[in-house]
Chain A
Amino acid sequence: MCYYNGTKVTKDEYIRLKHLEKLVANYKFIDRDVINGFDFGVTAIVKPIPGKEDFDIVPMEWGFIPDPLGWPFIETREQLFNVRRGYKDARGKWNEGINFLNAVSEELVKPGKVYRKAAQERRCIFLSSGYYEWRHIFPLNKRTGEPLKTAKKYPYRVGQKDKNYFWIAGVWQEWTDAETGETVETCAATTAKGNLVTGQIHNSKNRMPTMLTDELAWEWLFENLDDRRITEIASFQMPWENISYYTLAKDFLSSHEPWKEHFYPELPPLDIPGAEAPAPRGQIELF
């Protein structure tokens, strides 16, 4: 028997609590309201422990950095910055930036693709309490009745019904800066075709992060998968009936309460069979 905080606990429980201490010590990176991918900051990732059906929750840099020995030859932070933000090459030609935040599931394991080896050997899970997406609405020209060319963008928070946290499939890659020797673990989330709800919210691209059921998350992390199954799981479309969503204030990214619902009277509801349009209301508190 052991004592924790003066209370008699079993050895197993004592070890569990000591393990929890370690997790909590590293926890600050998990509990953030909004993680903006374009900041390329750290995010909480579930990573399998090799040889065990167990995992750690670790901070990883969101923004996959490809193997420095492969394409596109990113060996230093400066080169990485250029690749992410775009740059002019030696001939003066502008190269568009590639952020490597998201990996398209349908192309994940195709030969020559940057995520192929990671998808086969280094799969992980993003721990998420909700993600943010913008719905594009094209207002009508008052004179002609035709849609305007510039869309109004309405932010949504999307989650999984009855779940505080859910799983998003991802892949990871260790990368070492050739100048400083700094080694980091980096990751990308996989994306699938949007379902009835998420497709209408992310209506500019009709994509959604690959939200997994508990069973599929387990399989993604721990099973030996062939390319066909990797693609199948990465393309999994969480049923639209399981999706929760609501609109946010347009400045939510700089708000102290970014998750707070905001109602837009002019915004048409999503076209969901059997769903009634919500009654107009003002801002509501979640708690």
Chain B
Amino acid sequence: MPFELQLNSVTMKVYELAIPKYTAFRVEFSSRRQPLVVARTKDAAKEIFWTSIPEGRQKEAEGVGTLIDEYFKKKKN
């Protein structure tokens, strides 16, 4: 089931992708922005970061990823 995020009057509908072993989401925007798939991954220093799948939209992935993290943090509390 999707959940919704809001930022600057843009609504994002976020679908968790049921792919075992991965944390990934498809994000649909109420604006004209193309849907985006983001995934959590680790860099060479084992630091977790968000990236776009496929490559090419790293800035957007980091922005949306942060919102998703905040959503789950709030949900947990």
Contact B58 A1 (CB under 8 A): no
Interface size class, chain A: 20 to 34
Among A14-22, A180-188, A234-242, the stretch that binds chain B is: A14-22
Contact A21 B44 (CB under 8 A): no
Residues of B48-76 contacting chain A, CB below 8 A = 49, 51-58, 61
A30 within 8 A of B: yes
A159: nearest residue on chain B (CB-CB)? B1
Size of the B side of the interface (Cβ < 8 Å), in residues, is: 29
Total inter-chain residue pairs, C-beta < 8 Å: 79
A5 within 8 A of B: yes
B49 CB, nearest partner CB in chain A, Å:
6
> Given the complex of chains A and B, what is the CA–CA distance between A31 and B16 in angstroms?
8
> Given the complex of chains A and B, what is the CA–CA distance between A10 and B42 in angstroms?
8
A16 CB, nearest partner CB in chain B, Å:
7
B19 within 8 A of A: yes
B16 CB, nearest partner CB in chain A, Å:
6
Contact A27 B17 (CB under 8 A): yes
Contact A23 B1 (CB under 8 A): no
Instruction: Report A246-287 CB contacts with B as 1/0, cut-off 8 Å.
Output: 000000000000010000000000000000000000000011
> Given the complex of chains A and B, what is the CA–CA distance between A55 and B51 in angstroms?
24
Contact B19 A27 (CB under 8 A): yes
Q: Which residues of A contact B16 (CB under 8 A)?
A: 164
Interface SS of chain A: helix, strand, loop or mixed? Answer: mixed
Which one, B1, B37, B42, B58, contacts A24 given CB within 8 A?
Answer: B37
Contact B1 A129 (CB under 8 A): yes
> Given the complex of chains A and B, what is the CA–CA distance between A165 and B26 in angstroms?
16
B47 CB, nearest partner CB in chain A, Å:
9
> Given the complex of chains A and B, what is the CA–CA distance between A286 and B2 in angstroms?
10
Q: Which residues of A contact B44 (CB under 8 A)?
A: 1, 8-10
Contact A259 B1 (CB under 8 A): yes
A6: nearest residue on chain B (CB-CB)? B58
Contact B18 A287 (CB under 8 A): no
Q: Which residues of B contact A55 (CB under 8 A)?
A: 20
B49: nearest residue on chain A (CB-CB)? A7
Contact B19 A57 (CB under 8 A): yes
Known pairs A27-B26, A286-B1; A127 contacts B43 (CB<8 A): no
Give the B-binding residues of A (Cβ under 8 A). Answer: 1, 4-10, 13, 16-17, 20-21, 23-24, 27, 30-31, 33, 44, 46, 55, 57, 127, 129, 164-165, 259, 286-287
A sample of 30 inter-chain contacts (CB < 8 A) reads: A5-B57, A5-B61, A8-B43, A9-B41, A9-B43, A10-B42, A10-B44, A13-B42, A16-B22, A17-B41, A17-B53, A20-B24, A20-B53, A23-B22, A24-B17, A24-B24, A24-B53, A24-B54, A27-B17, A27-B37, A31-B15, A33-B1, A55-B20, A129-B18, A164-B1, A164-B16, A286-B1, A287-B1, A287-B2, A287-B4
